[in-house]
Amino acid sequence: MAAARKPSKTMTGLGMAAVQLAIQFLQSDAVKEQIQRAPKALTEWAAERRRQRPEGRGRSSGSLARLNPAGRFGQRGLERRVDNMAGAVALAFGDREHALRPELWDALDEVQRAIAIAGKLPTLKRKRMHLRIDNELDALELGLIEAVLPKG
């Protein structure tokens, strides 16, 4: 009987560097200046995401009416989160073609690649990878939310 294989180092670090670079970028003073010039829609996005996070449980009844369980979990849920994050990044920093600093777009590309790879894996491995991707997306979203709506 063959021994169970451990996940490879490349799989555990998938997209990690790009996400960390994007988070560092979000904490810079240049980002804070650019976000101050961003449209009000970005602030509304960040406020809604903050309400949806476990620390701020106040969901509105409107968000429950839009609940589509199939699009909230698993592969489609992660894809939806990346799409929403891309929309917020476009609001704050411009679209991909006009971005002066591509760190956030690179991080989103890495996450999208990881989601695509996860979709091709067997169920158990896919679920493990989805958890890793979910954690990376949490970190990116929190970084953008904190840049837009500082706690202090």
Q: Each residue of 102-126: pLDDT tens digit?
A: 888 888 999 999 999 999 999 999 9
Contact 72, 80 (CB under 8 A): yes
Helical spans, DSSP H, in the chain: 9-12, 16-26, 29-36, 40-52, 61-65, 74-93, 103-119, 123-148
Whole-number Å distance between alpha carbons of 64 and 45: 16
In a domain, 51, yes or no: yes
Report the chain's mean pLDDT, rounded to a whole number.
77
Query: Is residue 140 included in any domain, yes or no?
Result: yes
* Range 16-32 average pLDDT: 79
Residue 4 lies in a domain: no
Domain count, the chain: 1
- Which of residues 31 and 117 earns the better pLDDT score? 117
C-alpha span between 124 and 140 (Å, rounded) = 25
pLDDT of the residue at 152: 62
39 located within any domain: yes
Number of other CB atoms surrounding residue 113 within 10 Å: 13
Q: Which of 100, 104, 93 minimizes the C-alpha distance to 140?
A: 104
The more confident residue out of 82 and 23 is: 82
Residue 19 sits in which domain range? 15-60+70-148
Residue 1 inside a domain? The answer is: no
- CB-side neighbour CA atoms (13 Å) of 44: 5
